[in-house]
Amino acid sequence: MAGERSSSKVGSANSGSAWIWLTGVGVAVTIGYYILPVLNVSRVVQSLTFIAVSTAAAIAVLVGVYINKPASRFPWLVLAAAQGMYSIGDTVYFVLHTVLGREDYPDLADLFYLMQYPLICWALMIFVRRRTPGRDRVALIDAAVLAIPAGMIAWVFVISSRNSSGESLAARLVSAGYPTMDLLVLAVALRLVLGVGTRTGAYRLLITSLTLQLTADALYVLTKDTYQDGSLIDSVWIGAYVLLGATALHPSMRSLDRTSARTVVTPTRGRLMVLAAASLLPLVVMVVKHSDTHVIAAAVAGGVTFLLIMARMSEQAAEQRVLAIHDGLTGLYTSDFLDEAMETECERALFARSELTILLVGVDNVKLINAMYGNIGGDLVLREVATRLRMSSRPGDLVARLDGDKFLILMVGLSPRHAAQVAEQMREAVSATHVDVDDEARIRVTVSVGMASMPTDGTSPRDLLHAADQGLYAAKRSGRNRTYTRNGPVAEAPLAVPIPDQRHSWHSVAPHRS
């Protein structure tokens, strides 16, 4: 058994470092690739070296699948097939152009080169689907926002120019096919980058490999008429293939397609800025292609307007994130946030057998306050009550606003006796001083409190809320300004009714202003 464990550890160490060895060998081969012509070695050897790297990358993916044993091998096998198609294309190109000396375009090699791209898209879409627990439409839209301007640039500066050239129809179709396929890979890769999921080492290697390949393809398309075998563009392709093999050999490739716990990615300002910049690219292209003064003015106006709209959306998104947790009027936590917190705290208290108490606080005579001072006066009262409840609560207590004139305080680790004392302190803090409801009127505001404790009144949020609501109803029915449990009063207090209070006289009437 000890021998088996030892061999297992050695195997794990070897598999964990295989991707490093491959990367190191790739760097050495890349350097050697450009030293060969300096040493007057035949170009044939250089071409065969490139084919060997491409083939080794496909084999490395298969070896990585065998060593790391991912839960789903299929997308990795598709990636190996994609790289294999490129290797076959390189071999056919070498035979046709180097061995046979043919210069036809397009030829059979282009067929295998183009077949690589749909296979890459297929594998990436499988990764995306397995990593995403839901549909994540936001990431899909963001990927489209970035891909569409790239497609426009490719069409204006590459594809359309090829269509207007004197090449044959087949040559124009193939020439347009390469940037089109690159755009498809870019779109799917962006969906992978912008979606949810863990960013493991294998994930980063894969994204870097795709970035290098798309960069090399773009450089090749732009320099197609002057490209020669052995140029610096080949080093970018070699790097892409080496990193693809390293991706499969990296131990974290097993978790690359693991389903994420998060359903959507939280938008950030940086992400919005990138999307805004990408959206402005069509306007930039329009200015470059048509330098007319009116076109430039329209593009500038459209760009500025769009940026202002994006800024507004960014601010609104930030405010909505705040409002999802905090009430807009009082600044307290919302009922939605409270529901999750109560569920968590009840489970924790039940597991630890600790005590938990909730206070359901209702403002007394709210209808009378609204009738006398309007909704603005009522809002001022609610905001002031919320402030006094928060100030008189303990550090760590959760104070939230429920519907209308009700508040809830969640207190953890407090016995019912001490919770009753805190409830009384809060109730007295609310009525201690008068509340300004307009420029001249002040009123005394009181609250009634219903208290429920765990496990005495229940062990679930629903049970506790029901018990606290019964206590609040009993406190209101008994004269208000009291703290009750569903079993009876915690303390007695005088009947409380909001009384108008003027700045200079309790009983004077506010002067009528004409």
Please, are residues 138 and 267 in contact by the beta-carbon 8 Å criterion? yes
pLDDT of residue 22: 92
Q: What pTM does this model have? A: 0.64
Q: Is the per-residue pLDDT at 58 higher than 50? A: yes
The candidate with the shortest Cα–Cα distance to 426, out of 500, 349, 483, is: 483
pLDDT tops 80 at residue 355: yes
- Residue 203's nearest CA partner among 463, 398, 19, 421 is 19
Identify which has the larger pLDDT, 305 or 427.
427
- What is the Rg, in whole angstroms, of the alpha carbon atoms belonging to the chain? 35
Q: Which two tokens stand for residue 60?
A: 């490395």
Residue 235 CB partners (closer than 8 Å, separation 6+): 30, 33, 34
pLDDT score, position 117:
95
pLDDT, tens digit (0-9, with 9 covering 90-100), for 288-298: 777 677 777 77
pLDDT-derived band at 161 (thresholds 50, 70, 90) equals low
Instruction: Provide the token pair at 7.
Output: 């061999």
Q: Which of 269-273, 433-437, 442-446 has the lowest mean pLDDT?
A: 269-273
At 16-41, the pLDDT tens digits run 688 999 999 999 999 999 998 888 88
- Cβ neighbors of 271 (< 8 A, separation 6 or more) are 142, 194
- CA 500 to CA 440: how far, in whole Å? 10
